Amino acid sequence: DAGITQSPRHKVTETGTPVTLRCHQTENHRYMYWYRQDPGHGLRLIHYSYGVKDTDKGEVSDGYSVSRSKTEDFLLTLESATSSQTSVYFCAISAQNEQFFGPGTRLTVL
Amino acid sequence: SQQGEEDPQALSIQEGENATMNCSYKTSINNLQWYRQNSGRGLVHLILIRSNEREKHSGRLRVTLDTSKKSSSLLITASRAADTASYFCATVSNAGGTSYGKLTFGQGTILTVHP
C-alpha cells in the first residue's frame, strides 16, 4: 500500500458540469499519473506529473486538465463533462520503476 | 493506440492447471511489467522484466521476454481460484528521452480459475 487515496470514489454528474477528482499520496513520490479505464481499451494515460507544477499530457488528454500545487495532491479536472468521459479513473504513483494504484473513482456523466 | 496487445482476451481453466498469457508490443522498450486487477479494484504490480533480461521468476509466476519478436508471456503455474483476475502487460518506452516512468497498457486478459 503506497498510501494513495482518491476522492470521491463515486460520482454522478450531468453533461456540461465541471468535475474535479483528487488523488492524495502520503509518501512524497515525485511521479504521479491519471489513467482512465474503459472496456476494450485497458488503461490509458490522461496526464502525468514529474514534480510540483510540472505536468504533461498523456495519450487521451483532450477535455482534461490537471494541477499539482503540492507534492501530495494531483487533481484531475473535467472542465465540462461529457458522456464520453464516463469511466473509471485511476491515479498512480511511481516508485522503483513500479506503479502503485489508487482504488479508483467511478464517474458517470448523464 | 495501445502499445501492448494481449492474447487471449479471456482464459478459463481448472484449479491446478497452468495459465499462459501473451503480450505483444510495437516500439522499443526499457522494461515490461505485468499487473493484476481484481474486479472493481486498482491494479497491483506483479513483476518487471528489463529489456536485457529474457526470463524472470517470482513465486508461481514466470515471465519471458523476446525483444526480437516484441513479445512477452506470463505463466502462472498451479493456478488457484484466487488467481481469478484480469492481467495486464505494460511497457515503458526507451524512445524520445526521459520516459518519466510512463506506462502503456495492453487491453488485458481475463483469467477465470474454476475450483
Per residue in B36-77, pLDDT (tens digit) is: 999 888 899 999 999 999 999 999 999 999 999 999 999 999
**Spatial distance between the Cα atoms of B19 and B79, rounded to a whole number of angstroms:** 7
Q: What is the predicted pLDDT for the residue at B9?
A: 92
Three-state SS string across chain B, please?
A: CCCCEEECCEEEEECCCCEEEEEECCCCEEEEEEEEECCCCCEEEEEEEECCCCEEEECCEEEEEECCCCEEEEEECCCCHHHCEEEEEEEEECCCCCCCCCCEECCCEEEEEEC
Average pLDDT taken over every residue of chain B:
91
Do the chains contact at B45 and A102, CB–CB below 8 Å?
no
Those residues of chain B whose CB sits closer than 8 Å to some CB in chain A are: 2, 4, 31, 33, 35, 40-45, 48, 88, 90, 92, 100-108
Three-state SS string across A26-45, please?
A: CCCCCCEEEEEEECCCEEEE
| Average pLDDT, integer, range A67-92 | 97
In chain A, what residues touch B42 (CB-CB under 8 Å)?
90, 101-104
**Spatial distance between the Cα atoms of A50 and A11, rounded to a whole number of angstroms:** 27
Of B63, B85, B89, B88, the C-alpha closest to B74 is B63
Of B80, B63, B81, the C-alpha closest to B22 is B63
Grid cell of B40 as nine digits: 472493481
Do the chains contact at A43 and B105, CB–CB below 8 Å?
yes
Q: What is the predicted pLDDT for the residue at B93?
A: 85
Of A44, A59, A102, the CB nearest to B42: A102
Residue with cell 493456478: B79
Q: What is the predicted pLDDT for the residue at A41?
A: 78
Mutate to test the interface with B, among A4, A66, A97 (most CBs of B within 10 A): A97
Judge whether B103 and A99 are in contact, CB under 8 Å.
yes
Do the chains contact at A102 and B105, CB–CB below 8 Å?
no
Q: Which residue of B has its CA nearest to A40?
A: B107
Q: What digits encode the pLDDT tens for the residues A12-37?
A: 999 999 999 999 999 999 999 999 99
B16 exposed, middle or buried (CB, 10 Å; 0-12, 13-18, 19+)? exposed
For residue B1, pLDDT beyond 60: no
For residue B2, pLDDT beyond 50: no
